[in-house]
A and B are shown apart, each in its own frame.
Chain A
Amino acid sequence: MEIIVCVKHILDTRLPVAIVDEGVVAQKEPWPVYVLNPADRCALEEAIRLRGEIGDCRVTAMTVGPARTKSALAHCLARGADKAVHLISDESARLDSFSVASLLNAELRTRDFDLVICGYKTEDDGAAEVGPVLAELLNIVQITNVVKLAIAPQDKTLVAERKLERGYRQVVSAGLPALVTVDSSICQPYYVTRRAARFSEKGMDANTTTVIVQDDTVLAFGPSVRQVTGVAPPRPRPKKIEQPDADMSAADRLAMAMGIGAPKKSTERATGDAEGLADDIISFLREKGLLP
C-alpha cells in the first residue's frame, strides 16, 4: 500500500507578516521563518499511524517549491516518512492552486498510490483548493475536512469522519484510491527535535527523488488565471439586523413587521432560597421550550 502526503512549506503565521510589494506577503525581521503547514504535519502523522496499522505500507512526502523547501521534506523524513519527492520550482510563489495541483498530478501519474492525504488548508493562503483539484485531475474520490480515518486494505475501502457545520460530523465510506484532506484536529503530531531534522537532512539524498520542473514548463500554463493586485483593508463585520423568528411571540413578530422594531429584553429577576430558584429556572426553560 502506498500513501502519498502532499505538504507545503509556509511562512510561520505566528510571526508578524508584512506586505512588501504589491500583493507579496513576507516576513522582514529578522529573516523569514518557514515551517511545515500544521494541517500537513497532521496529515503526515496520520499517514504514519495508518502505516503502523496496515503493516505493508510506505509513506511518501511530496512538495512543490524552491530549493529551500528541502528542509520541509527533511522534517517529514525525520517524522517518519519513508521517501520524499521534491518538485523543484523556483516559480512556485507565482503558481496558483491549479498549477500546483497539475504539477502534483503529473508526478503522481508516474507512480502507484492508494491514498493521497493533504492538509485541509494551509495557514498562509488558505484556499483549500489543491486537494479537491488534484482529486479531479486524478479522477479519484475526495473527502475533505476529515477528523477520523480508518482503512481496510484488503477490501480497498476507507471510512472517514468529516466535520460539518455546528459540530455535526458525517461518516463517509469510499473505495481506494482516494484523496483525503485532513483537519489538524485529527491527531496530535509528535514533536520533532531540531537535531533529528538536521540528522535526516544529512542523509536524505538517498531516499529523495528530485524532479526539476523547468521554468518554461511552469510558464507553459500561460499567465496565471488570477492575479493578486493589492491589499485591501478588512471589511467590517456586518451589523446584525434583527429579524422575526419562530422563537418570538406573535405580538413581537407583528410589532416587528409593522416597523416598531425589535422587542426590548426584559429581565425577570428571581430571589429566594436555592430550591425555589432551581424550580424557577427549570420552569423558565420549559416555558421557552429548551427542556422537555
Chain B
Amino acid sequence: MTEREVPPSEMNVPCSAGTGTTAATTSEVWVIAEAGDGGIHESSLEALGEAERLARGIGGTCCAALLGERVSHLIGQLAQYGAGRVYLVEHPLLASYSTDAFAAATGAAINKYRPRLVLLAATPYGRELAPRLAFSLSAPLVTECTKIDLNEKGEMVATRPAYGDAVYTLVRSTAPPPYLASVRPGFLGLGQPNRSRQAELVTVAVDLDSASVRTRVLERIPPDPRTVDVSDAAVVISGGRGVGAENWKLLEEIAAKLGAAVSGSRVAMDAGWVCRDRVVGQTGKSVSAKLYLAVGISGASRHVAGIKNAKTIVAINNDRNASIFGLADLGLVGDAREVLEAINKVVQESGIGAEEVSGLEHWSAVRNGRQKVMIPLGCEPGRG
C-alpha cells in the first residue's frame, strides 16, 4: 500500500474563498429562463412565481435572464408570469444549449448585474449548468429545492428532499450572496399569467468564443414509444384485466402502429403482461399524455389516480356502468378483443403510422458488449 499526504498548498482554491464576491449585490431575484420549442419551459415559469414572491419579500425586483439566438418574442411570456425586468442575452452560439457557452454567458451577466439570488429550473440543462455556474461565481448552490426563503439576515434557507424524498432538509447558505438555487420541476405550481403586465428590457452583450464550446450536438432523438418512460409518453395505450393474455399482442401491435407507449393496470402487471415500470396508477406511474386509451380497465380509484393529468381519455369496456366512462372523453361499450381487432383493421387499411418508428439501430453495436440479461422493453434497469 502506498501512502502519502496532501499538503494544503496542492489543494485547489475552494469556492468559499473564491473570487468576485466582493462587489455588493442588488436586491434583484433572477430566474435563468429556459427557452424550449413551445415557449418558455414550464419549470422556469414556476421558478418565476417563486422569484416574484421572494423579490416582494425583500422589496426587490423579479427579473428573468433569457438566453438564446432569436428569443425576444418570449419576453412577453416572462412578463406575464411575473418578470418585472428581462435581461436579454442573444448570441449565435446560444442557439442551442451547451454548458460551456451558457455558463460563460450567464456568469458574465450575473457578474455584471449582481443579483441577490438566482433561480434555475432543475431540468437536465439546469442540472448541468447550475454547479458549473455556482463554482465559477463562488456562489453557494442548493439543488432541487422545493421551497426557498431568505431569512432576516438575508441568507438563503432552502428546503430540499434527500434520501429518495424520505426526508426534507433545510439548508442554510452561510456565504455572502449571490445565492444559487435550482427548483424541482412540478413542485412549486404555475401561477396565473397576468396578460397586462409588461417587463422592462435590458439587452446584455456578451463576448463568446466559438472555440470555448467543446461539445457538439450531433442529433436530437425523439422519444421511441417502445422504450420511453410512460409518464413522458405523448400517447399511451393501457390494458387491464379485460384485455386478456391472448389479446395483449394485439394491443402492442396497435400501439406500435399508433406510435404509442404500452402500459397496464396493476392486474396486467400481476398477470405478467407489462413490467413494473409500466404500471399506471397510485403505486405506479402517473401519465400526462395527450391521449390515454384505456382498454378493459374499469377505472378503480387506484388506477384513476395515475391518469388525472391525461388530456384526452378514451375508454373501451364491455360494462356500460364502468366508472372509467365518467372520466373519459369518449367511451366505447364493447368487447375489448372485437374492438381492438376492428381498430387494427381500420389502422391497417388507412395506413396510419405506416412508417416504422425510428429506433436506435446505429447504436446497437455500441451496446451489445456485456449485456447478457434480457430486459423487457422499456424496463430501465435500476439496481443490480
Residues of A within 8 A of B (CB): 11, 13, 16-17, 19, 23, 25, 38, 41-42, 45, 48-49, 52-53, 97-99, 102-103, 105-107, 109-110, 123-129, 131-133, 135-137, 141-145, 148-150, 159, 161-175, 184-185, 187-191, 205-206, 208-214, 216-217, 220-235, 237-241, 243, 247, 265, 267-275, 277-282, 284-285, 288, 290-292
Contacts and interface: CB of A to CB of B under 8 A. Distances in A.
18 contacts: A49-B369, A98-B16, A110-B10, A129-B143, A144-B127, A167-B222, A167-B223, A167-B228, A167-B232, A168-B220, A172-B215, A172-B216, A213-B5, A217-B11, A270-B330, A270-B333, A274-B339, A281-B330
B164 A267 contact: no
Given A212-B5, A238-B187, A174 B216 contact: yes
B132 A132 contact: yes
B200 interface: no
Interface string B218-253: 111111100011001111000000000000000000
Nearest to A181: B128
Interface in B158-176: 159, 161-175
A25 B161 CA distance: 12
Contacts of B380: 184-185
A251 to B, nearest CB: 17
A82 B234 CA distance: 44
A137 B144 CA distance: 22
Given A132-B135, A170-B220, 13 more contacts: A42-B384, A110-B10, A133-B131, A136-B132, A137-B135, A210-B3, A220-B8, A222-B17, A225-B15, A232-B168, A232-B169, A274-B338, A290-B291
Interface in B175-194: 175, 186-193
Contact of B382 (A38, A205, A274): A38
A98 B166 contact: no
| A-B complex: 6 closest residue pairs judged by Cβ atoms | A238-B189, A167-B223, A189-B384, A278-B342, A167-B228, A274-B338
Contact of B171 (A98, A150, A229, A292): A229
A211 B342 contact: no
Contacts of A247: 311
Given A171-B219, A173-B218, A222-B14, A187 B172 contact: no
A237 B167 CA distance: 15
Contacts of B53: none
Contacts of A214: 5-6, 8
A57 to B, nearest CB: 13
- The dominant DSSP class at the A interface is mixed
A238 B127 CA distance: 22
Given A128-B143, A222-B16, A133 B218 contact: no
A66 to B, nearest CB: 16
Given A142-B132, A189-B384, A220-B11, A23 B342 contact: no
A269 B12 contact: no
Contacts of A164: 124-125, 220
B146 interface: yes
Given A226-B140, A267-B328, A241 B135 contact: no
Contacts of B223: 166-169
Given A212-B5, A232-B147, A269-B320, A188 B232 contact: no
B343 A129 contact: no
A169 B164 CA distance: 24
Contacts of A175: 214
